[in-house]
Every structure is written in structure tokens, then in C-alpha cells.
């Protein structure tokens, strides 16, 4: 599952004030019509699980089925749109936020949304840490009801940057359903009950059918009667399906997209905004990978530009070791600091070899470095075998590392196995990405915050490498405790130092939102000129906003 989130750098300032308003609505009287088909290759058939607190399922439910309190537009400098909350206000030096819920909202089972549902949702995350994917309870101290339509969230310290997590990234679920679930961590949620514009009806391993909720609270929404989401196990059939017009919304890698897709129809369009990083997760509990020299050598031995050109056809730019996505977040990049590490770990296999030699490793007759006791620097790397671009990218990395005396053996797995092993730490190296967030801090937090980790064998929310140092945790908490941009930049500079010195994760390419769209039968698409949401169908909750805008012609 490709999951991404990135926005501009001024989110915190915009969230300090109370907000109010309504989401876009339509006055169309005739009800929903038209069937939209999505082509988003995932590498497996559907499990038909929709638990919005499970990393493997959340992208299929948060947005169109379950809804958050507020939508944070990650492509418009953190612009906020009320969703289930009609307004909100900070108080007590930005340690308390009060949400006012909009009236008239009902879950698809007919029960009204109340503050008790919001309080229950957050209390459930506190009770079951595995559900708290963004560790919001590391900073929250209480969530309580106030009156008949308000929810008050109190934080341990100033916490404006956490607005993104609590307001945009948490699905609100009905208490009368979830309170009866014995173990919400393992609950598959086959028949989700949400407030969203769509219901799941039906789901098979081959196709998820999202049907318009006839009692949706926004007048005139949704405009589409059905959304079909077929399963594809590899890129080629999914790309053909899209190029031939059988699907109208695509979210995948297409080689030679101009010839294969754009040339097929004047109504075929695409836009690939860079948003986050794809790279190598490193299991830091592995005895050899604990050695920072090994990690630094791997980082120097990868020609990111070559991976970008061969694996991604140049659509995804080469990344850098700080993890700062450019040009999206160029103002955050500490160039002077990065220059001290070989121009931000620019491709230098000779440097990789010298680091390993200085660390006591010796090259064997097969060209692979080994420890003094003879243990070779040979690792497996797990990958999603259905992503042809990632498979090609790792093949390039494999060749480059071998030239520097490091062996990796790709394991191209089915998506469920790949995800499970990565989340639970059952791997040595893994190829994947994180979602990012409103500034570079959010992606760095996902990689580096110990509260996002978990013991080997238990699923981690995002810190799949199991990185943990008290000093780094302090930096992450310092950022969350201030709304001062200068102080936040200072913290991010120090987190860049962690990435450069300790190499806990190796960014390889800058992940883009894969987005193709056909305008022959539908209007209302996200465009570069009107980026009202992240446009990839795997970005949650943004795709729920997309489905409130797209309409039949």
C-alpha cells in the first residue's frame, strides 16, 4: 500500500485560530449517478477488511466510509476544511483544543454522531496502543465531552503540530458498534459503519464496490452512485485497464506514460507532485545492521539518480539522506550540514569501501565484505512484488551495493506478507515509504520516534526500523511543544543531523503522488491549478474529499 502525506510549512500558524464553515456541497436534485472505476495496483487481491486503525486497511476506509473531524489540505499550505467538526478553538496557551461537532450527522446504521462517539474513539486508542498509529496519546492527557455538541482535548504541553494527527488522521467510529468488539486490534471490520458518503456494498476479493450513502449528511453529496475498486496483482494489467479507459482514476506507476497513456486519448491526464520518500528501512535489531558503518556504507553505495531513471523513469526524483523532500520543503534543508557528509551522501562507492575497511571488515574472494569472524555483509530485502517500479529499483540497488562489497537478496512478496513482516520487524532490509505530513518533521517523526515503534513481533505504527534514543525523542517532543517556526526549523536541523550521522533510514527516491485521470465523463478532478486534495486514491482521508468533488458530466 502506497501511503503519502505532505504539505506546506505554515500549517501551525493557520491552526491557531478557530475555524468554521462547510465542506463543498452540490445542489444537484436528481441524486447520485454514474459509476467511477479506480485503477490502483496493490499487488494482491482484496481481503475486504476495513479497520480504520489497521495500517493494512486504513487506506480503504478513512475518507469515503469513515470521516475525521477536519480535513487538512496537504497541498495548499495546510488549508483546513471542517468535516465532522464545524469549528474548533485553541485555549490555555495552545494546550487545550475544543471541537464543536456539526449537527445532523448520522452513521450509516442510523444512529446520530455525538461527542460520546469521539470520546469513545480516542479512549479506545488509549486503551489499545496498537490502534494509536500516530501515538497521539504520547502528548494527549484527556479527551472529554462538554455539553451536547463539544469535545475538549487537553494536552500535556503546547501541541499545535498535533492538530494534523488528531483532526485529520483519526477516523471517528460509532460507540454502539465498536464498544461490543472484544478485540478491536484484530477486528477486520468487514461491514464498516461510518458517517461517510459511501458504504461498502459488496466487497469481493476481486472488487470493492463503494455505494452512495443515501442518508449522507451533506446535501447533494455524493454525486457518484458507485465507485468500483478492482484488485490488480501487478502493474501491467492495471495500466492497460487505465489506458484503455476502463478506469477513470489511476494511482500507479506507468512506464513511458506519454506513449502508453497520454497518447491514447486527449482526455487522459496525469500529475505527479513529489510528497515524501521511498527508501530502505533497516532493522536496527539485526547484529550487523546495528553497526552504523554498515548503514553509512550502504547509503554511499547507492546511486540514487540511477535508481530514479531506471526504476522510476525519472518520474520520482532522487532523494537525499536528510530526508528533506525538495523542492516541496527546500527551505528546511540544512545544506551546510549535509555538505559535511559527502554532499548529502552523494554516490561514492569508494567512500563506502573505505568506511567498511576502517571499521574492520575485510573483503573476501567473492568480493563481499565480512566480519573478522567471517560473517558476510549479506542481507535480504523485502519488497512488494506487485510494484514493477520498486522491483526494478531494488535490482539497481542490488547491483550497486555488490560493487561496494555488500550483498542484498531481494524477496519480492505478496502485499499482505510484505506489510506484515515490515510492520512486525520480521525482516533485515525493507523497501517502502511513510506518509509524511505537514512539514518534514512529520516524516522524520515517523522514522525516529520511539513511541511509534513496538517490540519485534508486534506491529509498529510507523517506526518499523525500531530506532530509539532519548535525545531524539526529546527533539521530537520539543518540536511538538512550540508553534514558533524558527524553533521548529532548529529542531528539524538537529533531526537532519540524526539522519546524516546515524543513517537509521535510507531515502532513495522522492515519492510522488501517482495520479492519472480521464476527463471524458467526469469533472471536478484535482489539477495542478486546483490542488484541493492529494490526488492519489491511496491517500487518506484525501480520496474521500476527491469523491465529494468528482461528478459525472
Quick check: 7 and 72 in contact, CB under 8 A?
Answer: yes
DSSP string, 508-526: EEEEE---EEE-SSEE---
* Coil/strand/helix, residue 79: strand
Cα angle, residue 108 at apex, residues 107 and 110 outer, rounded to 5°: 70
Tell me the pTM.
0.85
pLDDT in tens, 447-500: 999 999 999 999 999 999 999 999 999 999 999 988 899 999 999 999 999 999
DSSP string, 209-233: EEEE-TT-SSTT----SEEEEE--S
Alpha helices in 340-469 (DSSP H): 342-345, 349-358, 388-403, 415-424, 440-448
What pLDDT, on a 0 to 100 scale, did the predictor assign at position 31? 59
Residue segments in the chain with a per-residue pLDDT below the cut of 70? 1-31
Nearest alpha carbon to residue 171 among 95, 322, 72, 68? 68
Rounded Cα gap, residues 63 and 432, in angstroms: 23
What pLDDT, on a 0 to 100 scale, did the predictor assign at position 3? 43
Rounded Cα gap, residues 139 and 119, in angstroms: 16
Amino acid at each position: 500500500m502506497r501511503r503519502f502525506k505532505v504539505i506546506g510549512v505554515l500549517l501551525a500558524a493557520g491552526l491557531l485560530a478557530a475555524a468554521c464553515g462547510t465542506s463543498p456541497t452540490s445542489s444537484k436534485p436528481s441524486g447520485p449517478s454514474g459509476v467511477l472505476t479506480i485503477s490502483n495496483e496493490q499487488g494482491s487481491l482484496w481481503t475486504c477488511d476495513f479497520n480504520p486503525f489497521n495500517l493494512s486497511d486504513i487506506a480503504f476506509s478513512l475518507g469515503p466510509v469513515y470521516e475525521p473531524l477536519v480535513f487538512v489540505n496537504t497541498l495548499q499550505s495546510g488549508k483546513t476544511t471542517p468535516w465532522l467538526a464545524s469549528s474548533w478553538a485553541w485555549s490555555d496557551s495552545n494546550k487545550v483544543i475544543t471541537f464543536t461537532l456539526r449537527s445532523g450527522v448520522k452513521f450509516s446504521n442510523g444512529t446520530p454522531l455525538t461527542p460520546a462517539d469521539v470520546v469513545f474513539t480516542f479512549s479506545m486508542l488509549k486503551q489499545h496502543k496498537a490502534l494509536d498509529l500516530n501515538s497521539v496519546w504520547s502528548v494527549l492527557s484527556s479527551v472529554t465531552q462538554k455539553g451536547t455538541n463539544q469535545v475538549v482535548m487537553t494536552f500535556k504541553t503546547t501541541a499545535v503540530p498535533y492538530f494534523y494527527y488528531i483532526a485529520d488522521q483519526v477516523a471517528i467510529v460509532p460507540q454502539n458498534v465498536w464498544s461490543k468488539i472484544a478485540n478491536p486490534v484484530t477486528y477486520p471490520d468487514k461491514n464498516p459503519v461510518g458517517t461517510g458518503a459511501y458504504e461498502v456494498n459488496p466487497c469481493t476479493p476481486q472488487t470493492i464496490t463503494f455505494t452512495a450513502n443515501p442518508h449522507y449528511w451533506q446535501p447533494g453529496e455524493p454525486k457518484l452512485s458507485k465507485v468500483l475498486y478492482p484488485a490488480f496483482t501487478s502493474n501491467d494489467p492495471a495500466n492497460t485497464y487505465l489506458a484503455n479507459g476502463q478506469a477513470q482514476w489511476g494511482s500507479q506507476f506507468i512506464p513511458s506514460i506519454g506513449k502508453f497513456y497520454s497518447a491514447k486519448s486527449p482526455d487522459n491526464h496525469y500529475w505527479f507532485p513529489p510528497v515524501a520518500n521511498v527508501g530502505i528501512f533497516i532493522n536496527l535489531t539485526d547484529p550487523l545492521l546495528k553497526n552504523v558503518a554498515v548503514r553509512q556504507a550502504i547509503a554511499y553505495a547507492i546511486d540514487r539518480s540511477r535508481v530514479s531513471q531506471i526504476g522510476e523513469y525519472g518520474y520520482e526524483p532522487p532523494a537525499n539522506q536528510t530526508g528533506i523532500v525538495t523542492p516541496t520543503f527546500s527551505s528546511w534543508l540544512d545544506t551546510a550540514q549535509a555538505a559535511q557528509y559527502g554532499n548529502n551522501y552523494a554516490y561514492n562507492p569508494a567512500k563506502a569501501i573505505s568506511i567498511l575497511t576502517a571499521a574492520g571488515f575485510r573483503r573476501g574472494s567473492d568480493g563481499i565484505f565480512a566480519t573478522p569472524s567471517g560473517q558476510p555483509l549479506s542481507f535480504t530485502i523485502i519488497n512488494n512484488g506487485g510494484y514493477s517500479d520498486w522491483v526494478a529499483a531494488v535490482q539497481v540497488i542490488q547491483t550497486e551495493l555488490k560493487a561496494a562489497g555488500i550483498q542484498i537478496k531481494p524477496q519480492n512478496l505478496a502485499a499482505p506478507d510484505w506489510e506484515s513482516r515490515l510492520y512486525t520487524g520480521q525482516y533485515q532490509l525493507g523497501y517502502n515509504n511513510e506518509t509524511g505530513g505537514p512539514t518534514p518533521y512529520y516524516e522524520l517523526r515517523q522514522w525516529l520516534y520511539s513511541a511509534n515503534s513496538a517490540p519485534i513481533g508486534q506491529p509498529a505504527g510507523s517506526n518499523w526500523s525500531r530506532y530509539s534514543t532519548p535525545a531524539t525523542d526529546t527533539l521530537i517532543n520539543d518540536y511538538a511543544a512550540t508553534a514558533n517556526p524558527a524553533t521548529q526549523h532548529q529542531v528539524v536541523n538537529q533531526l537532519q543531523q540524526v539522519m546524516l550521522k546515524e543513517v537509521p533510514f535510507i531515502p532513495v527516491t522522492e515519492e510522488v503522488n501517482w495520479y492519472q485521470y480521464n476527463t471524458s465523463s467526469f469533472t471536478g478532478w484535482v489539477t495542478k491549478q486546483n490542488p484541493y486534495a492529494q490526488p492519489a486514491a491511496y491517500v487518506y482521508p484525501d480520496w474521500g474529499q476527491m469523491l465529494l468533488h468528482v461528478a459525472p458530466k
